[in-house]
Structure 1
Amino acid sequence: MPGRLSIYDDKVFKIDASTIIENDMVGKLNPRYNIPPTTPIPALLNNGNYLYTHFGYLPSWASSKTSMNMNARSESIFEKKTFRDSFKYRRCIIPINGFFEWAKEDKEKTPYFVSDIKNDYLALAGIWDEYFDVDLNMKIVTVALITCDANEKLGKIHHRMPVVLEKKDFNTWLNNDDLKEVNKLFNIYPNDKIQIHEVSAEVNKVLFDMPSCIKKIKKVEENTKEKQEIGQLSLF
């Protein structure tokens, strides 16, 4: 159930979704490595607009921002009044390069970065709505990620993960009115299509937004092994 995302390169996504994007309002992407809730994130809406949206879903009828949701469960999305209409009529794709999850180890929480095995993008299934922001005195587009059970690899860290869409399913997700067909896309993403590595605790800081956020942290045993290997090589 990710609450922090990373999107620093959307070039391949734009190519893959070129037949669906009708209005590119994002233009040149502003790279972000540690995106928390309530901040802008690009999304492709089912009206053809690719634009920056508010990460944190608010239905149009919400009385305040206290009802904001970052995630919607795939198992109950059609049953919940909050999400039901958006699932029917306002679906979107949220492209990311990866997301963060925290593993509970003793009393500490260790951050991990989850990304595509080929270091490409992950296309997350989402929903959107327009909400009138009284502070801005304007309507804003708000989005939520849809989640499902985690695959075995990620399940060692967290029991939920985002629903990830394949390129071939983009059009079905955005434009198919047959919800039975849409529901078939709520699949657990395969273990062999993601990679996970530990990152610096600096990512815990909401304002820390640097490429080092996603850099792999070498554990003590890895460093020891490297030293041993170097020592063995020096004998010859």
Structure 2
Amino acid sequence: MGYASLMCGRFALFTPLDRLAKQVGASVPESSGKPRYNVAPGTWITAVRQESEESAPLFDDLWWGYRPKWAKGSGNQPINARVETVATNGYFKGAFARHRCLIPADGWYEWIKDSQPKQPHFICRADREPMFFAGIFAEREDGSLGCAILTEPARGSAADVHDRMPLILDDNSLAPWLAPDITDRETLRNMVKHIDAGLIEHWPVSTKVNKPAEGQGEELINPA
């Protein structure tokens, strides 16, 4: 499955992990994390997961590309899963019930449709606070963990750029999303909410974002 056909396909994370740890009740990691302004699929990304009901959430590095080991290397490796079908799709539903995670971000990139050259926009919270994308993960054939970010129909100003956006959870939804003991779809639906659409804004940025190997610096999120 091609990365370019899906969304969200690129994001930024530069808020120190010790600050994020307080929001999710996780232990402060030894490293505060290196700022990344152009996180691409097929790389290790920072995520938060919870191993058991008794344990606290923890930071972990997950491979951005979801392919459970039972697929035996022959299945697709999507970077996104649609919130409308993730609980019923056979490829994802086991992870949705038992292996949910949070992917922290300060914003994500999306491209104006049919623009030439492809014009990226940086989309973030208007108050510049970090956000947490809802994700799922599964063990891969090599024993590592791979993840996918859930997406929903675009809301607010994000719809100006693309018809999909990451599922961004509000603060009260972080704990239930991680909770391993909550496996019922309807229970999750009643407990988990996305952030208000009015919090989202965007602006055009440099086309250097289009090539992760060439663009990685803080200047990427500056208005073009």
- TM-score bracket relative to the smaller structure: 0.7 to 0.9
Amino acid across the alignment from 1:3: G
Task: Give the unaligned 5+ runs of structure 2.
Answer: 1-6, 52-56
Q: Find the counterpart in structure 1 of residue 54 from structure 2.
A: none
- Quote the Cα distance in structure 2 between the aligned partners of 1:144 and 1:99: 15
Of 203, 215, 226, the match for 2:222: 215
| TM-score, scaled to structure 1 | 0.82
- Quote the Cα distance in structure 2 between the aligned partners of 1:129 and 1:164: 20
Q: Find the counterpart in structure 2 of residue 34 from structure 1.
A: 38
- Quote the Cα distance in structure 1 between the aligned partners of 2:10 and 2:43: 10
Point out the structure with max Rg over C-alpha. Answer: 1
Is residue 115 from structure 1 mapped to residue 124 from structure 2 by the alignment? yes
| Displacement of 1:15 | 1.1
* Per-residue deviation, residues 158-204 of structure 1 (Å, max 9, x unmatched): 00011111111111111133321212466554332112011000110
Q: CA RMSD in A?
A: 1.9
| Displacement of 1:154 | 1.0
Is residue 183 from structure 1 mapped to residue 184 from structure 2 by the alignment? no
Task: Give the unaligned 5+ runs of structure 1.
Answer: 134-138, 218-236
Q: Find the counterpart in structure 2 of residue 234 from structure 1.
A: none
Amino acid across the alignment from 1:93: L
- Quote the Cα distance in structure 2 between the aligned partners of 1:25 and 1:65: 35
| TM-score, scaled to structure 2 | 0.86
- Quote the Cα distance in structure 2 between the aligned partners of 1:150 and 1:186: 17
Identity %: 27
Q: Find the counterpart in structure 2 of residue 155 from structure 1.
A: 159
Instruction: Give the structure with the higher percent strand.
Output: 1
Number of aligned residue pairs: give it. Answer: 209
Q: Find the counterpart in structure 2 of residue 204 from structure 1.
A: 210
Q: Find the counterpart in structure 1 of residue 174 from structure 2.
A: 170
Of 88, 107, 130, the match for 2:139: 130
* Per-residue deviation, residues 73-119 of structure 1 (Å, max 9, x unmatched): 01111221110100000000111011000002554421000111111
Q: Find the counterpart in structure 2 of residue 195 from structure 1.
A: 201
Quickly say closer, same or farther: Cα 1:206–1:106, change in 2 above 3 A.
closer
* Per-residue deviation, residues 5-50 of structure 1 (Å, max 9, x unmatched): 11111343211112xx25x557320111101101111101121331
- Quote the Cα distance in structure 1 between the aligned partners of 2:165 and 2:193: 11
Quickly say closer, same or farther: Cα 1:167–1:188, change in 2 above 3 A.
closer
- Quote the Cα distance in structure 1 between the aligned partners of 2:8 and 2:167: 11
Quickly say closer, same or farther: Cα 1:204–1:156, change in 2 above 3 A.
same
Q: Find the counterpart in structure 2 of residue 13 from structure 1.
A: 20
